[in-house]
Amino acid sequence: MNTSHTAKPVTARRSNALKGNVRIPGDKSISHRSFMFGALASGKTYVNGLLEGEDVLNTGRAMQAMGAFIQKEKDTWVIQGTGNGCLLQANQPLYFGNAGTGVRLTMGLVSTYDMETTFVGDASLSKRPMERILEPLRLMGVQVKAAQGSRLPITLHGPRVAAPLIYRVPMASAQVKSAVLLAGLNTPGITTVIESVMTRDHTERMLYSFGADIEVETPISGERIIRLVGQKSLKGQVIDVPGDPSSASFLLVAALLIPESDIVIHNVLVSPARAGIFLTLQEMGADIRFLDERITGGENVADLHVRTSYLKGINIPPERAPSMIDEYPVLSIAAAFAEGKTIMTGIEELRVKESDRIAAVAAGLKANNIFCTEGIDYLIIEGRPEGKNSGGGIVTTHLDHRIAMSFLVMGLASQHEVTIDDASMIATSFPQFINLMTELGANFA
Ligand code: S3P
């Protein structure tokens, strides 16, 4: 467990055109779940294209601590699972670093075992709300010990026999939905989760392919009702993880904003539950083409051809937020260079990410001479087309990888350079970011 932290400032300067063909690392959500479901399945799971970021590696370590064997053979991660219901008690606290998905899903996964598990994380994760996970778990019979305000460190002890639950998720959160479903895997009977807005559905799709007894009903009310029959066996799978659309978005926005850029990003996940950013940028005037659209492992995948574009501000419908929730920081950079106002509403969940992203983005934009106004659940940005007079600021990243990458992208297109106080957290989700961008032509110091 490494909890020490040394800040690493980086400066981004106006760059020449970005050109080239790139592959980006695997999707973070699918990578976490690959380690978890592989660890739980009987037999071997083979994972190609796994994101080897710190967040996902911490999930892998947690699964090893509970009995799974995980090793890398050439480019493939091979997981020998314990079998559903057969995880072992870890003999020390499980450390999840910066990762909300890692800790929240694993809390669900182990909560219904009659054993004690302690969860810890870094300074950012230790500030994030966990009550949203603890509330449904308590209803299933789980005993909880938590730090003040339901924060980490948290210790869970499952009941001898957990009670299945019918649970309506009170906020748009794939993590809460997934935690309850994963708790249901070791619970007799049917666990039901209802969500009123669709969030990313990798848990449902992947559990189905691992052989879980899971079904999704979509009545005309628009809600999604997910039913999972517990205590069924899961079987190891072969998984090809597609490229992460959230990581792709940094390259994409950089290419849109830096004059005369022309890049192709290969093998990007573009399934509807994750594709809000592409639609939004296209509505703003972005030239993004989807090449060779295909289905891989049940997900939509495409190569993205992106060319520099003149962007206009738009009003983004709040119901689109779940399909692009992690992309608002980098979208804000696109908005900072667009003509007119970009209005983002219904984004209150951004306040509880790795940082308060509404506040962090607003402060970063203001430090770089972009006018914006924020409210509890909205952000309005007034763009400066072509970045006139933009930049020149130092941005506080609050241990948030997406704030760090977003403002580096800003510096590549601004009139004056942009410095971020700490680039080290980028390793949690996109360790190759600086190198890959530099190969395309980006100017960092
Ligand atoms: C994730 C769900 C989202 C997202 C996070 C990954 C997942 O979080 O922001 O990066 O893999 O389920 P919420 O469920 O809190 O919206």
Instruction: Return per-residue pLDDT of the chain as tens, 445 residues.
Output: 555 689 999 999 999 999 999 999 999 999 999 999 999 999 999 999 999 999 999 999 999 999 999 999 999 999 999 999 999 999 999 999 999 999 999 999 999 999 999 999 999 999 999 999 999 999 999 999 999 999 999 999 999 999 999 999 999 999 999 999 999 999 999 999 999 999 999 999 999 999 999 999 999 988 999 999 999 999 999 999 999 999 999 999 999 999 999 999 999 999 999 999 999 999 999 999 999 999 988 899 999 999 999 999 999 999 999 999 999 999 999 999 999 999 999 999 999 999 999 999 999 999 999 999 999 999 999 999 988 899 999 999 999 999 999 999 999 999 999 999 999 999 999 999 999 999 999 999 9
**Are residues 342 and 362 in contact, defined by beta-carbon separation less than 8 angstroms?**
no
Q: What are phi and psi of 228, to 5 degrees?
A: -130, 125
CB neighbourhood size of 351 (10 A): 16
**Cα–Cα dist 391/415, whole Å:** 6
Angle, CA 73 vertex, CA 67 and CA 79 arms, to 5°: 25
CA-to-CA distance for 418 and 401, rounded, in angstroms?
Answer: 16
The shares of helix, strand and coil residues in the chain, as percent rounded to the nearest 5, are 35, 30, 35
Query: CA 356, CA 291: separation in Å to the nearest integer?
Result: 35
- Closest residue by CA, ligand 1 atom 16: 173
Ligand 1 atom closest to Cα of 28? Answer: 11
Whether the Cβ atoms of residue 160 and residue 114 lie closer than 8 Å to each other: yes
What is the distance between the alpha carbons of residues 202 and 182, in angstroms, rounded to a whole number? 12
- Ligand 1 neighbourhood includes 175 CB (under 6 angstroms): yes
What is the 99 CA–ligand 1 centroid distance (Å)?
10
**Which residues carry out catalysis?**
326
Q: Whose CA is nearest to atom 5 of ligand 1?
A: 101
pLDDT at residue number 1:
57
From residue 291, alpha-carbon distances to 21, 265, 287, 309, 332 in Å are 13, 10, 13, 18, 26
Ligand 1 pocket member 349 (CB < 6 A): yes
> Burial letters for 178-197: b for 16+ Cβ neighbours within 10 Å, e otherwise?
bbbbbbbbbbeeebbbbbeb
Q: Is the CB of 59 under 6 A from ligand 1?
A: no
Expressed in angstroms and rounded, the spacing between residue 389 Cα and the centre of ligand 1 is 35
Q: What is the pLDDT of residue 2?
A: 54
Give the span between the Cα atoms of 299 and 306, in whole angstroms. Answer: 21
- Cα-to-centroid distance, 181 and ligand 1 (Å): 15
DSSP state of 305: E
Residue in 344, 360, 342 with CA at minimum distance from that of residue 400: 360
Distance 262 CA to ligand 1 centre (A): 30
Evaluate: CB of 429 within 6 angstroms of ligand 1. Answer: no
Assess contact for 197 and 171: CB atoms under 8 A.
no
C-alpha 45/C-alpha 206 separation (Å) is 12
The one-letter code for the residue type at 104 is R
Pocket test for ligand 1, best of 107, 206, 325 (most atoms within 8 A of CB): 325
Q: Minimal CA–CA distance to 104: which of 31, 7, 177? A: 177
Residues 6+ apart with CB under 8 A from 335: 284, 311, 313, 342, 344, 381, 383
Does the C-beta of 402 come closer than 6 Å to ligand 1? no
How many CB atoms are closer than 10 A to CB 116? 14
Our mutation pick for probing the ligand 1 site, out of 56, 200, 269, 429, counting the most ligand atoms within 8 A of Cβ, is: 200
Q: Residue 296 phi/psi, 5° resolution?
A: -125, 125
DSSP-assigned beta bridge partners for residue 306: 263, 288
The total of other beta-carbon atoms located within 10 Å of residue 313's CB is 22
Output the DSSP codes for 345-358: ES-GGGGGSSS-HH
54 sits in which H/E element: helix 54-65
Residue 267's Cβ-count burial label (10 Å; 0-12, 13-18, 19+) is buried
Phi-psi region of 72 (alpha: psi -120 to 50; beta: other; left: phi over 0): beta
Whole-number Å distance, alpha carbon 36 to ligand 1 midpoint, is 15
DSSP 339: B
